[in-house]
Structure 1
Amino acid sequence: MKRYLNILFLLVAIAVAACSVEEKTHAEGETEYTCPMHPQIVQNKPGACPICGMDLVPKSVHGEGIEITEDLAFLLKPTNTTVVANITTSKPEQKSVESAVQMDGIITYDPRRVYSVPARVGGRIEKLFVKYNFQPIRKGQKLMEVYSPDLITAQRELLYLVKSAPEDEQLIASARQKLQYLGATNEQINRLIRSGEESYTFALYSPYDGYVIDLNAAAPEATASMAPAPAASSGGGMDAMGGSSAATAPSTAPTPPAGQAIQLREGMYVTVGQPLVRVVNADQLWAEFNVPAGEMKALSKGAPIQISFPQLPGERLDAKVDFFQPFFDEGENFAKVRVYLPSDRKQVMVGQLVSAEATYKTEPALWVPAAAVLDIGTKTVAFRKMNGVFEPVAVTTGARAGKEIQITSGLKQTDTLASNAQFLVDSESFIKVNN
């Protein structure tokens, strides 16, 4: 009997030990171990963290331990995944937009309305009626009275033919034409024929309306060319009236180029072809604007422009582009754009600074936020999302419109971009662009 009891106790002990080992094995199989510093490291047995070397701790022991909440689950994500997931992205949009170009310019003359009145005959100025710069003159207004031997000789020839050969109309017409070539008007010629006496001083009239410019802008310099040549002999009386003798022929004065001052004084000698006055007709003016080279293609002839005047707040003038200067001025990177101003704008003056805005509609193209493009000096880049990370890609930009910029190459409409290209940039960053 005692033997049977010992066998029974032995069987019970073995069964209890087997259950304990099974329970322990089962418990070890369900326990997960993790690193306190790197929650993404999870193992089903104790050990060391492969990243920092710390001992792993149980995640849950018999249902007790760390509770994985929603906030904790967010922290358990890898750091780069968290950063990338929080970057705002956008896609290029294919569209056509209204854009504008800001320009600065100045009001200037229309060169076609700047006239030069040359001397058709040489002689001495006896009376001068145009004496100061910006003096207004009208067409037909007397400019000066000139003593000219050539004009005296031509008058005498005409009077002689009218008196001695009135029937020879061809010769009379030729004599009249000669006077006209010397600057005489038909009214002066008819008055000469009626009076029958030549005039020793001949009046010169303005053929244009406008304002006198470049007149006596600087003090005249005393030169030998302003005085007549000395008489070669004392017998040059009638020859001098005919202009054939050197006794009365003044030396040739240099002709001032356009834009330089013209000196006129009573008693001065003028030569054939010498500019007497320059006249500007300000009824039609131009506005010339500088357009940056990168925005030249955006504008075309006929594009609408709205001109504003800094000294006249709220004043606007609608005009259109009329002409593009076909070259750049030396040292400048701007194209010149010319705009005609309406002739009724009396408050507009030459030399006045103005600004303008030219509007245009772009061709269909890809547009992205301007902040999505970064200029790194040698290239312009955008950050494109590829396989969960952002990589820089070189792009070519075009026009700007508000907070958007045009992309001409480097991106596709299906690409995903970082809306703000500054997210990876700091004072020590160096962006490597593969393309």
Structure 2
Amino acid sequence: MIRKLKNSVGIIVILLLTMASCNRHDHSAQEEVYTCPMHPTVVSKQPGSCPVCGMELVRHGGPGEDLAMTPELSRVLKSPDEAILASVKTVRAEYKSLPVDVAVNGVVTYDTRTVQTIPARVAGRLERVYITYELQPVRAGQKVAEIYSPELSTTQRELIFLLENDPENKALIDASRRKLELLGMSPSQINALETGRQATSTISIYSPYSGYVVMRGPDMGTGMSERLVRAGDYVSVGQKLFTVVDSKAIRIELNVPGTTGHNVRQGTRALLNIGGKDQEVIIDFVEPFVADGQPFTRLRVYSQSGESLRIGSLVSGRIRIDGQESLWIPRQSVIDLGTQQIVFVQQRGLFRPKAVRTGIRSDGMIEIKEGLATSDEIAENAQFLVDSESFVKPLN
């Protein structure tokens, strides 16, 4: 009995000590602490003024304590979405005219206005041909072929016969010389014939022009495609053997893809890298055309800089085009999805994607051809608003 009584007394003592400890914790938890907003080191258990600056002390909330939403607090707090939208700058499209720099690439080709031909002055068979490929360079006085001609051989023998049997007949001798000249023999070849008194079976053909050899036209009536003449070919009087273009007079052909080239006009200046040097040129000819369903513009520049260039050389450069008045926005305001371009239009405090049709670009700006008005507020940098939802629900 005494033992049970001792156990009961011990349990009661433990319960009383536990209750006293909880009361002390509750009392300390309910204690209010006041501090100065400007001097956090000033702490007081009673409301009052800061002894340093005189400001009214405010109650310091405990960890995890819910604060009441006051009007002052609601004015400075925003939801996360509202905070993001508030940081996005907006702009409006502007109607103005901007110059456009267009990158162009091209190739050096021959000027067809300076085309010269080397014809066959006599009928016969080509024994040797020294021009073997297109665009082969040739200089004036260079041997280009050797031809065998029975008519030419007969005329040579006639001159030799007159020189040996009737040297006083100057009229016939001069007529024979002129005939050989008409058949393609040069004065030096005729002099060599008169000195050696021996007819040759073939005669060399020399180019009177310097330049590059290009393909001759198709043989009319034979159905043959364009090709250079070869050894063994039979040629007739007046037939074109080679076509030579002037190596100094060249033509630079530039291709501008898309509709950008439509604004290029004859007389527009361009800065081209020709032969490793920048050179300002003037566009002499503009030719719009369509290739594989895509619009292009071919530009031509005629130049006399052929001494430093070869036919087939690549040329690059830029053309500054005076743009027409159009609607422009910053280039970073547009997101290109491949099949369409979109901008983010601000509507009732929110940004919604909207499809637009763009045009040319210039100095960080992009032309808007359709889908936007000057009254629309759009995000200046659309990258801040990129979202997967934007790619499937653009506004029309």
Q: Deviations over 1:140-165 (max 9, x none)?
A: 666555442334567899999xx9xx
Which of the residues 264, 268, 284 maps onto 1:322?
Answer: 284
Q: Is the 8 A contact 1:122 1:269 kept in 2?
A: no
Q: Given residue 109 of structure 1, which amino acid in structure 2 is its aligned partner?
A: Y
Q: Is the 8 A contact 1:382 1:421 kept in 2?
A: yes
State the SS of the aligned residue for 2:393. Answer: coil
Q: Structure 1 stretches of 5 or more lacking a match?
A: 1-64, 216-253
CA distance in 2, matches of 1:423, 1:431: 17
Partner of 2:264: 299
CA distance in 1, matches of 2:383, 2:131: 66
Length, aligned pairs only: 312
Q: What is the deviation of 1:363? A: 0.9
Q: For residues 256 and 112 of structure 1, do their structure 2 counterparts lie closer, same or farther at Cα, with a shift above 3 Å needed?
A: farther
CA distance in 1, matches of 2:122, 2:251: 34
Q: Is the 8 A contact 2:271 2:280 kept in 1?
A: yes
Partner of 2:235: 271
1:363-378 equivalences under 5 Å are: 363-378=324-339
Alignment of 1:392 onto 2:353: yes
Q: Is the 8 A contact 1:103 1:290 kept in 2?
A: yes
Q: For residues 97 and 204 of structure 1, do their structure 2 counterparts lie closer, same or farther at Cα, with a shift above 3 Å needed?
A: same
1:240-389 equivalences under 5 Å are: 257-258=225-226, 260-264=227-231, 268=232, 270-272=234-236, 275-308=240-273, 312=276, 315-330=277-292, 334-343=296-305, 346-389=307-350
CA distance in 1, matches of 2:291, 2:155: 49
TM-score of the two chains, using structure 1 as the length reference: 0.57
Q: What is the deviation of 1:78? A: 5.7
State the SS of the aligned residue for 2:308. Answer: coil
CA distance in 2, matches of 1:290, 1:369: 27
Q: Given residue 323 of structure 1, which amino acid in structure 2 is its aligned partner?
A: F
Partner of 1:100: 101
Alignment of 1:420 onto 2:393: no
Q: Is the 8 A contact 2:131 2:144 kept in 1?
A: no
CA distance in 1, matches of 2:368, 2:333: 11
1:19-418 equivalences under 5 Å are: 66=68, 68=70, 72-75=74-77, 77=78, 81-124=82-125, 130=130, 134=136, 136-138=138-140, 143=144, 146-151=147-152, 182-183=183-184, 204-211=205-212, 257-258=225-226, 260-264=227-231, 268=232, 270-272=234-236, 275-308=240-273, 312=276, 315-330=277-292, 334-343=296-305, 346-418=307-379
CA distance in 1, matches of 2:388, 2:395: 21
Q: What is the deviation of 1:271? A: 1.7
Q: Is the 8 A contact 1:255 1:274 kept in 2?
A: no
TM-score of the two chains, using structure 2 as the length reference: 0.62
Q: Is the 8 A contact 2:289 2:296 kept in 1?
A: no
Aligned residues: CA RMSD: 4.5
CA distance in 1, matches of 2:286, 2:245: 23
Q: What is the deviation of 1:357? A: 0.5
Question: Once structures 1 and 2 are overlaid, which stretch shifts more, 379-388 or 356-365?
Answer: 379-388
Q: What is the deviation of 1:214? A: 7.7
Q: Deviations over 1:352-407 (max 9, x none)?
A: 22211011121111211111122234332222223333333332212101211011
Q: Is the 8 A contact 2:215 2:228 kept in 1?
A: yes
Q: For residues 376 and 330 of structure 1, do their structure 2 counterparts lie closer, same or farther at Cα, with a shift above 3 Å needed?
A: closer
Q: For residues 256 and 91 of structure 1, do their structure 2 counterparts lie closer, same or farther at Cα, with a shift above 3 Å needed?
A: same
Q: What is the deviation of 1:209? A: 2.3
Q: Is the 8 A contact 1:137 1:212 kept in 2?
A: no
State the SS of the aligned residue for 2:283. Answer: strand
Q: For residues 103 and 70 of structure 1, do their structure 2 counterparts lie closer, same or farther at Cα, with a shift above 3 Å needed?
A: farther
Q: Deviations over 1:182-204 (max 9, x none)?
A: 5567x699989x99x99665554
Q: What is the deviation of 1:338? A: 2.3
Q: Deviations over 1:239-270 (max 9, x none)?
A: xxxxxxxxxxxxxxx89754x44434xxx463
State the SS of the aligned residue for 1:336. Answer: strand
Q: Given residue 247 of structure 2, which amino acid in structure 1 is its aligned partner?
A: A
Q: For residues 130 and 406 of structure 1, do their structure 2 counterparts lie closer, same or farther at Cα, with a shift above 3 Å needed?
A: same
Q: Is the 8 A contact 1:103 1:355 kept in 2?
A: yes
